[in-house]
Amino acid sequence: MDAGHEQAGALAAEHLVQVGARKVGIIAGDPRVRATALRSNAARRHLAAAGVEIAGGVVHTGTYSEMWGRTAARAMTARVPDVDGFLCGNDQIARGVRTRQDVERAVAAVRPDTPERSGTYGAAARRNARPNYGGGQEYVSSVAETVVGVMIEKRESFDDLDALLSVDGVDFVQWGPTDFRMSSGGTTAEIDRARGELFDACDRNGVPARIELADLSEFSDLCARGFRHFSLGIDIEMLFGAWKQLGTEARKILQTPAVVLS
């Protein structure tokens, strides 16, 4: 049974056409896999018919992995700086693609869809639109004031920090050390150095850093260095700690022998 690989490739290409991409990089997986050729060739034909340029003029094949997605995207943006979209062979490859364009699209997604703002956020029956449907000036202003933060968790994002932090509309950056350790395979010392490099990049670009803290052991020193934005604790851990304390106290009460006065 055919899984509809050609249709999948054409649908993905049509999405890029609809969002206005003009130069697209195609990052495919293993060329020995039949689905790879079916998807990428169908996508290439659809993009060409719509007048969209293929970055580099070829389909880039490799492996079905995040690492390949990172490597290919980094190499492609270095050779073709104005690439404005990526078509990836599967979700693993796509997870490895993290570029300046990702940040630009994220900012646009929360900016109002007006000629002045050039965002993609339209009218919607959400809490900030009540009691009406939205679309008025007050609604547009509230959407325009949305605070935008970028989480730096992936190696490919870290390697292109200055480009990401120079995107207009980024209000703060948050460091994700655990995810960064997973995606980079770094040691504790390397993760600490990377955090310092991130802070330096934030200073260069005038973008505040928001720092995750599990406790207050570093709080005073970080405040003395000028940091003012913090994420203190994790909700699940806070709830676990509170429930554990309440449960421990309740167990003590239940285990205490009752005194019966006659």
Q: How far is CA 100 from the centre of its chain?
A: 11
Cβ within 8 Å of residue 97, ≥6 positions away: 27, 69, 70, 72, 73, 86, 88, 156
Q: Which regions of the chain does DSSP assign to beta strands (E)?
A: 23-27, 53-54, 85-88, 149-152, 172-175, 209-213, 229-232
pTM: 0.61
Q: What is the structure's pLDDT at 1?
A: 39
Q: Minimal CA–CA distance to 139: which of 112, 109, 108? A: 112
What are the pLDDT tens digits along the chain (262 aa)? 345 889 989 999 999 998 888 999 999 999 999 999 999 999 999 999 999 999 999 999 999 888 888 888 888 888 898 898 899 998 878 877 777 778 888 888 888 888 888 788 888 776 766 666 667 888 888 888 888 998 888 877 888 889 889 999 999 999 888 888 887 888 989 999 999 999 999 999 999 999 888 889 999 999 998 999 998 888 888 899 999 999 999 999 998 876 566 5
- CA–CA distance, 232 with 59 (Å, rounded to integer): 45
Residue pair 5/42 in contact (Cβ under 8 Å)? The answer is yes
Full set of structural domains in the chain with CATH: 1-97 (3.40.50.2300), 98-110+147-235 (3.20.20.60), 114-145 (no CATH)
Helix (H, G, I), strand (E, B) or coil at 46: helix
Q: What is the structure's pLDDT at 139?
A: 84
Q: Minimal CA–CA distance to 59: which of 13, 105, 99, 18? A: 13
| Cβ count near 161 (within 10 Å) | 21
Determine the Cα angle at 216 with ends 213 and 220, to 5°: 110
